[in-house]
Amino acid sequence: MFYIIEKQDQLDQLHIGEDTFIHIIPTNENYHPALQNISLIYVRWIKGHKGYILCVNHSESLSLSITDILDKLSKVNNIYTLDKKAVLHHFPTLSPQLIDVQLISSYYKVQDLHQDINVEQYESKVESDFKRKYYTAEPSTLIPIAKHYEKYENVYDHIEQTINKISEDLEPYSFLNHYVAPLFYNIEKQGIKLSKEPFIEHFKTLPNPKFSVSKGKIYTQYNLYTLTGRPSNAFNGVNFAALNKTNGERAAFIPENDTLVEIDFKAYHPTIIAKLAGYEFTGNIYEQLSLQFPGSTPETIKELVFQQLYGGVRKDFQDKPFFKQVNDYTNRLWSDNGVIGTQFGKRFTKEMIENPTPQKLLNYIVQNTETVFNVVQFSAIVNLLKDKKTKIILYTYDSILLDYDSSENLLDSITSLLKFNYSTKTGHNYAEIK
């Protein structure tokens, strides 16, 4: 068939242009991308009239070499894809060329083009039946190539307008392309070492452990396509962003090196809101604010402050300097109906929010601003650690977890890259962090 590329001479003759869309079809999409094998790759020159299927592992075809495919793709200037982070698990050297269509289309600069990119809506009954029947095997290698091809031709038609719009001027999207997906790929690929007995005890109900566990490690997966831009992190039955702190399940996560080190930003949301509202704190934020809450304790002050920030500032606090500026800023957001949270942020409008309130809009802006600040700081840390044993293995909004090699003596160098007040805690497992 004319669209199937399964021999080296066909690959050599294939013209895919300077700007190309690709989508990797794994043998089983239920596996974490770090553990997946490639079955097929759909490619389409964005100025072409049809796509092609590059065959790697499929029952109907011969197999191309991954090395030869990578060599072909490395000559392309811009490679558009639905999920850059997933592609990086297979082709990390393509990072500078990869452009994440789904991530960019969700940000404000192409808000007019934003669309839900739901690949499953183009799935045929044949494909869904094979996936159910061969859930733990390799269904993609058995689904007819024609069905895969038909599906991704339809997917491309669905996103073609967005790709064309993005391709007109790539510069505004450079931050998203060069920092966001690569950062979370670099965290994901490390995995987290497991302690067998507590893992079995607390996570015995995983849908299928081999989807995310391999060689004594479990792999996290960050969803970058959330409404606020703040990544969620749940995969294969484990919500890594909300691990229980009291039932012992965190003891399942241990260092591959010497110890775990958690770096946690102090009073992060009040700090961010103060920056957005133009208010400057000096010293400990909660200590300063506790003076405005007679009878408060270190244990209750945080809850009281958050009630004002996200529940609405009480009238008797609206004349206090910090809360007055927060209240004015929140009202200004609401009256503008849509704002840019940061230089790289999204544009939010009331229509995007379910049961919108001024405080909900503020919270969305803060979550996006927090993510941008984190991406900048943690990308610098990843770059520092690229040839080291010490690695970032978990990100949870206002903190990161390091698998730390003490002999490298890097903690001061790491924390020097942080722009906000922080604390550090250590432990021999994640439950013992203190």
pLDDT single digits (tens) 341-386: 555 667 777 777 889 899 998 998 899 999 999 999 999 999 999 9
Binned at pLDDT 50, 70 and 90, residue 115 comes out as: low
Q: For residues 396 and 177, what is the distance between their CA atoms, to the nearest angstrom?
A: 21
Distances (CA, A) of 381 to 22, 297, 412: 30, 35, 11
For the cut 60, the answer to whether the pLDDT of residue 206 exceeds it is yes
pLDDT single digits (tens) 72-81: 999 999 999 9
CA proximity to 395, closest of 88, 237, 106, 190: 190
What pLDDT shows up at residue 182? 97
pLDDT single digits (tens) 229-242: 899 999 999 999 99
Lowest mean pLDDT among 240-244, 264-268, 294-298, 413-417: 294-298
State what percent of residues in the chain have pLDDT above 70: 95
| Helices and strands (DSSP H and E) totals, the chain | 15, 19
CA proximity to 214, closest of 239, 191, 183: 191
Neighbours of 214 (CB within 10 A): 15
Q: For residues 187 and 149, what is the distance between their CA atoms, to the nearest angstrom?
A: 32
For the cut 80, the answer to whether the pLDDT of residue 197 exceeds it is yes
What pLDDT shows up at residue 109? 45
pLDDT single digits (tens) 31-65: 999 999 999 999 999 999 999 999 999 999 999 99
Binned at pLDDT 50, 70 and 90, residue 116 comes out as: low
417 versus 177: the higher-pLDDT residue is: 417
CA proximity to 58, closest of 42, 44, 73, 74: 42
For the cut 50, the answer to whether the pLDDT of residue 110 exceeds it is no
Q: What is the 3-state secondary structure (H, E, C) of 172-220?
A: HHHHHHHHHHHHHHHHHCCCEEECHHHHHHHCCCCCCHHHCEECCEECC
Binned at pLDDT 50, 70 and 90, residue 175 comes out as: confident
Binned at pLDDT 50, 70 and 90, residue 290 comes out as: confident
Neighbours of 2 (CB within 10 A): 7
What pLDDT shows up at residue 177? 87
Give the contacts of 135 (CB within 8 A, at least 6 positions apart).
Answer: 30
Q: Three-state SS for 308? A: helix
Residue 9 host element (H or E) = helix 8-13
